[in-house]
Chains A and B, each alone.
Chain A
Amino acid sequence: MPQSPFVLYDEEYQEITGVIEKLLRESNSKCVYLVDKDGQLISATGETKDIDATSLASLTAGNIAATGGLAKIIGEKEFSILFHEGERDNLHISVVGQRVILVVIFDKRSSLGLVRLRVKKASEDLGKSLQKLLAKMAAGAEQENVLKEITDDDIERLFH
C-alpha cells in the first residue's frame, strides 16, 4: 500500500506561508520555497515569477535525496544543510523536521551568515506547524475529504 497522502489544509498553509514570508523579509533574500521531500511544492514567496517552481521543487528533492544517499555511504544520517554558491545568486537548502525542504535564494543584498541564522529560527516555527499538520492528518481531520467523493465517472471524464 502506498503511504497515505500528505494533506495540506488551508489553516496550516496560511501559517506556513506566514513563516516563510517572515523569513524572506528578515533574511533579505530574493525568494523562499518550501518543498516536500517527494518533490511537491508546498509554498513559495518572494520574486518567484521568473523561476519554474515545479522544476525547482523536483530537482531540490532529487538533490536532497542524492546527498542523503551520499551521507549514508560515509556513515552520516543526512546532510541537513546544502549551500550552492553562484556568481549572482546563491541557494541555501535545508531539511526541516526530516520531512520538508526549505530553499532560500539570495544575492549580495544578504549573506550566508544571515540566511543561516534566520533559517534556524524559521525551521523551529515550521517544525511546530508541521507537527500540528501531521497530528491533524493522523487524526483524519474532519474536514471535507475530496478523495472519498471521487466517482468512477470523475476519473473517466479526465480523459475526454
Chain B
Amino acid sequence: MSFINYSAREINCKIVYYGPGLCGKTTNLQLIYKKTRPESKGKMITLATETERTLFFDFLPIALGDIKGFKTRFHLYTVPGQIFYDASRKLILKGVDGIVFVADSQVERMDANIESFDNMKTNLEEQGYKLDQIPYVIQYNKRDLADVLPVPELKKVLNTNGVPDFEAVAYDGTGVFETLKAVVKLVLIELKKGA
C-alpha cells in the first residue's frame, strides 16, 4: 500500500519481484543497486541462506526524483522463489503496489514459471487482491542462454492479460531498468486513478 507523507513530502510505494527459484529476482535488484547513483539508493538488505538463496526477502529502497514537489521513493522487495517458502512469500506480498514477475526463459523451467505464476495469483487472492487489478509487468529473463523458449511461446502462457513485458539478461543489465520503469509507471498511473 502506498504511503503518502504530506509532512515529509514523500510518496512511497512497494514493488515486489516474484518468480520461480533461481530466475534472477535478486540479480535484478543487485543490478539496480549497482547502477543507481549513491544519493538515490539506500542500503540493499539480503536475507539469504549460506548458499545465497533468498530466505526471507531482499530489500532495496530507491528514490526516483520529484513529482509536484513530492519525492518518489520505491521499496523493491524480492520473494524467496523456492516452493517451500510460501509462508514468507505471502508476508512480502502484503501491501504491494506493483509486481514484476520474473520468468526463467529456459525450456526446462517453464513448469516452474507456471507454478510460480499460479502461486502468485493464489497468494494475492488470499489477501483480497485480484491479479488483473494490480499493476504488474513480466520479464523473460536469461535470454542469453542456449536452451530458451521463443518469446511468443512464453507470452502465450504467462502474459494472457497482455501487460507490458520485457526480454532480459539480468546479470548484465539488459532489460532490467526497462522492466523497473514500466512497473513504476503503472503504479503511479494506478495511484492517480485511485485519487
Please report which residues of chain A, range 103-139, place their CB below 8 angstroms from some CB of chain B when the two chains form the complex. Answer: none
> Which residues of B have CB within 8 Å of A147?
4, 11, 191-192, 194-195
**One of B68-76, B104-112, B160-168 contacting the partner:** B68-76
| B67 close to A (CB within 8 Å) | yes
Chain B interface mostly: mixed
| Binary flags per residue of B105-132, CB closer than 8 Å to A gives 1, else 0 | 0000000000000000000000001100
**Do B194 and A66 touch across chains, with their CB atoms under 8 A apart?**
no
Please report which residues of chain B, range 1-55, place their CB below 8 angstroms from some CB of chain A when the two chains form the complex. Answer: 1-8, 11-12, 14, 42-43, 45, 47
| B158 close to A (CB within 8 Å) | no
CB-CB under 8 A for A8 and B6, given A58-B45, A58-B59, A69-B87: yes
Partner of B56, one of A7, A62, A157, A159: A62
| A54 close to B (CB within 8 Å) | yes
A-B pairs with beta carbons under 8 A, tally: 134
CB-CB under 8 A for A38 and B14, given A4-B194, A155-B189, A158-B64: yes
29 A-B contact pairs sorted by A residue (CB < 8 Å): A2-B1, A2-B96, A2-B133, A2-B190, A2-B194, A6-B3, A7-B3, A8-B3, A8-B7, A9-B7, A13-B8, A38-B1, A39-B14, A40-B3, A40-B75, A42-B5, A54-B42, A55-B43, A58-B45, A58-B59, A62-B56, A62-B92, A65-B91, A68-B91, A146-B6, A147-B192, A152-B189, A155-B185, A159-B64
